[in-house]
Structure 1
Amino acid sequence: MENTIYQSMQAAIRLLENQNIIANNLANVSTNGFKETFNLIIKNENVNNLYKTQTQKYYNFSEGILTNTQRKLDLIIKENGWLVIKDMNGKEAYTKNGHLQINAQGQLTIQNYKVVINQGDIKIPNNINIKILSDGTIKKIEEKEDKIFEKTIGSLKLVRFPKNNLIQKDNGLFYLKNHTLNQNLKVPHDDTVRVQSEVLEASNVNPTKNMVDMISNARAFDMNMKMISMYDQNTERANQLFNVNN
């Protein structure tokens, strides 16, 4: 295969991969705590003057816009701390989405994923007031005889680790990379992580930039497809001329 068509095919494949990432970013513009993803392409030339490329995924961990919601079950996880939840397979995963809900079983959930509690398990009764302290402690608030009583009913599991140890899966959740920690081990709770309630962090995706990137990728893909088509046409004409001459 000629160098030109090889490079065009490789470029088209990379553009399709990048287009999927951009489409996912745009689909999560309104997802609380979502982190923008992008590809970094590393190009190396081998002995045959062909370029071997390697694609590496990176994440924009900058903070999204913060919104005061005045809702007790909304929170942000500050700096490089993360909230722990369990995915559909029961494995611990990490998120910046602090929009907590209470399901029919009285469990705290985020996007239907169960929130991991630091110690044991809790069930929150219906029609009670709760508040979440800055260290993740969950308190039940009751008013009796014009007096307010607070009782601790549990605490959120919060963790912290270097951002380059994380990888995002198709479900939008973050996990530790396989080489950084045995998958069967669990990250311990970090007492230094802090949260702030009644606030939500929006997605940090820049929709305008991603739309421009999507259009640019589509045009570049079309250009590579045209180059491959032209190569095929030229090859066909060359074969016709060869057959005529013979």
Structure 2
Amino acid sequence: MENSIYNSMIAANQLLEKQTVISNNLANISTTGFKEKFNYALQNQYVKNLYKTYNKITKEYHNLSPGTLNYTKRNLDLFVQDNGWLTVKDINGQEAYTKNGHLKINLKRMLTIQENEVIGSNGSIRIPNNVNVKILSDGIITSIEKKNNSFFKTKIGALKLVRLPIQDLIQKENGLFYLKKNNLFKNIINHDDSIHVKSGMLEESNVNAAKNMIEMISNSRQFDIQMKMISICDKNAEYANQLININN
């Protein structure tokens, strides 16, 4: 009976963890470039003292399929093609990766994504004052200036576009992706010339709202069942104690 209660508690805890992940997916359904997340719990079972005991291993997976495209016609909005990623520097100075192509220029004239500095193929990218910026398909950033009825193009820098090993990716609470410490690339990925971008459009979240809502309802019902199982086992234990007391 104690084993049944234990198993129900383990199952209920796993369902709560799943609900947290699903809630986060639904909360980010409008977040540009957000990737749907899944948690799978694996159990290693062995027998100890006549009871089954479990070692739980939780693995994190992401649905990296592209989201729908939103045509914004804004020069600093980018869609990264060919399974590519944009590279940024987080608040701790660590290299990170994102699918969010909504670029902005901060007060220091640095190119940023969600307040994280965008890393170029040769370092950070600073945008000069009073210029029109255009990003080419190969990630090269140019400024367009008009002088004496003529237009002049000047290269400002180039985006660092990378292709990442999916099996080595982890996502942190800031929404950015990182390479696991034990990866073969020593946490640094080089620029990939084969990756291209399209300006004037953004990749939206790939969260399937209907699917996540159905899973949330299903998990909620399963959680209720586990709670009922615990309650039934507890009542049975009470009845058994009462019978033992009467017989004595």
- TM-score normalised over the length of structure 1: 0.93
Structure 1: distance between partners of 2:63 and 2:35: 6
Aligned to 2:2: 2
Structure 2: distance between partners of 1:211 and 1:51: 32
Structure 2: distance between partners of 1:107 and 1:32: 20
Aligned to 1:187: 189
CA deviation map 1:19-46 (0-9, x unaligned): 1110110111011111101123334443
Deviation (angstroms), 1:123? 2.0
Equivalent of 2:81 in 78, 81, 87: 78
Letter in 2 for 1:220: Q
The answer to whether the Cα contact below 8 Å between 1:80 and 1:163 also exists between their aligned partners in 2 is no
Structure 2: distance between partners of 1:159 and 1:96: 11
Q: Which moved more, 1:90-99 or 1:114-123?
A: 114-123
CA deviation map 1:77-132 (0-9, x unaligned): 11221101112211111100000011111011111111112113332134321001
Residue 24 of structure 1 pairs with residue 27 of structure 2: no
Aligned to 1:204: 206
The answer to whether the Cα contact below 8 Å between 1:139 and 1:150 also exists between their aligned partners in 2 is yes
Deviation (angstroms), 1:162? 2.1
CA RMSD after TM alignment: 1.8
Deviation (angstroms), 1:161? 2.4
CA deviation map 1:167-216 (0-9, x unaligned): 11122111112211476x52222222211111110000011111111111
Residue 133 of structure 1 pairs with residue 136 of structure 2: yes
Aligned to 2:104: 101
Aligned to 2:235: 233
Structure 1: distance between partners of 2:170 and 2:126: 31
Query: 1:95-174 residue pairs with structure 2 within 5 A?
Result: 95-174=98-177
Structure 2: distance between partners of 1:146 and 1:51: 79
Residue 54 of structure 1 pairs with residue 52 of structure 2: no
Aligned to 1:65: 68
The answer to whether the Cα contact below 8 Å between 1:167 and 1:176 also exists between their aligned partners in 2 is yes
Unmatched runs of 5 consecutive residues or more in structure 2: none
The answer to whether the Cα contact below 8 Å between 1:43 and 1:51 also exists between their aligned partners in 2 is no
The answer to whether the Cα contact below 8 Å between 2:119 and 2:125 also exists between their aligned partners in 1 is no
Unmatched runs of 5 consecutive residues or more in structure 1: none
- TM-score normalised over the length of structure 2: 0.92
Query: How high is the sequence identity, in percent, across the aligned residues?
Result: 56
